[in-house]
Structure 1
């Protein structure tokens, strides 16, 4: 059996045509699956990390943002935790449900950007978890000859992910803004616990994979 998970950005793109998309995928041999929400699990990991660490914690849900910061800021005054993006958490859950005990099955995880695609494929290759492949939505549309809808104007995963954690969070998106915000947060005397960062302006709906 071939399984596929449609990420939230793609769902937003096809919002009024989602049922048609699901039927099309099923007609092409792919069963659409959905993992239990990993949102609270990820939030809890960040909350405990912020409480434990004495430095400013950086949001690691956007691997492209983290790589950009590492390349441009040589600084030890912030902490980059080993917390995987929600998409990777979701992939692990789906692997355990559909692949682990049945190696004949295959699972595709769709991603809104090439950075998440590359991260997922690297992690699962390193862990020798077969049967799982990460592909951008552009990859899927090309491979399965699916009509691609226009990018959604508002991200389904906007800034504000951590607002209910009772932490001092700095929220920023956009390449230059991200770099400036992290640098200023480190150099200022403000009591900032966490910097929420999305490299694409506005969120993952602007990713290079959709």
Structure 2
């Protein structure tokens, strides 16, 4: 048996029945992770903001660490030890006893998350961008362009702190080139413009 977890960005691109039929035709069984991970990660950030002595940087996007290092800001910010929601889901599935010993595919909206996941070497678990997964099958299915991203900026809107949000490489570079320590308690950062639905691992039209 082969199991597959579909990230919410990808799931949002297709008719649910068509997606399920497509995966079944390739002998994949879809699995779901617990629904509480989003709130769990948000609570972790809330606690981290409350205890951080310097500006807390949103680390849900793995590419952000490259910017921090490029601008030599590690000693001016707080980098929380909080994994992305997708990684929390994958860890749960890798530890789920009925799935032990079986291949598990975790689809990602970008290569950066796939690289991060594979670096963890979770048992019988492979992370792969959705478009690469489709390429490996030599198949595709009709896309329904999402009207709204399931992972847009604004993840921390409910938190009561000084915060600001940036997406896209140019805006993030501008932020760090003119970085003012402690101007904010929390900075939300997503490398892809307007959120993860624009990740490099999503489009299956190429």
TM-score, normalization: structure 1?
0.87
Alpha carbons 2:68, 2:74 under 8 Å: kept: no
Please state whether the residue corresponding to 1:186 is helix, strand or coil: coil
- What is the rounded CA distance, in whole Å, between the counterparts of 1:201 and 1:88 in structure 2? 21
Q: Does 1:177 align with 2:171?
A: yes
Unaligned runs of 5+ in 2: none
- What is the rounded CA distance, in whole Å, between the counterparts of 2:197 and 2:83 in structure 1? 19
Instruction: Name the structure where helix makes up a greater proportion of residues.
Output: 1
Aligned to 2:190: 198
Aligned to 2:57: 58
Please state whether the residue corresponding to 2:188 is helix, strand or coil: strand
- What is the rounded CA distance, in whole Å, between the counterparts of 1:75 and 1:106 in structure 2? 37
* Count, aligned residues: 200
Deviations 1:129-156 (A, max 9, x none): 3210000001111112331537646421
Please state whether the residue corresponding to 1:107 is helix, strand or coil: strand
Please state whether the residue corresponding to 1:165 is helix, strand or coil: coil
- What is the rounded CA distance, in whole Å, between the counterparts of 1:10 and 1:168 in structure 2? 32
Alignment of 1:149-168 (within 5 A): 149=143, 152=146, 154-168=148-162
Unaligned runs of 5+ in 1: none
- What is the rounded CA distance, in whole Å, between the counterparts of 2:177 and 2:162 in structure 1? 16
- What is the rounded CA distance, in whole Å, between the counterparts of 2:119 and 2:92 in structure 1? 17
Q: Does 1:67 align with 2:59?
A: no
Aligned to 1:140: 133
Alpha carbons 1:140, 1:146 under 8 Å: kept: no
- What is the rounded CA distance, in whole Å, between the counterparts of 1:8 and 1:106 in structure 2? 20
Alpha carbons 1:182, 1:195 under 8 Å: kept: no
In the TM superposition, what is the alpha-carbon distance from 1:106 to its structure 2 partner? 1.4
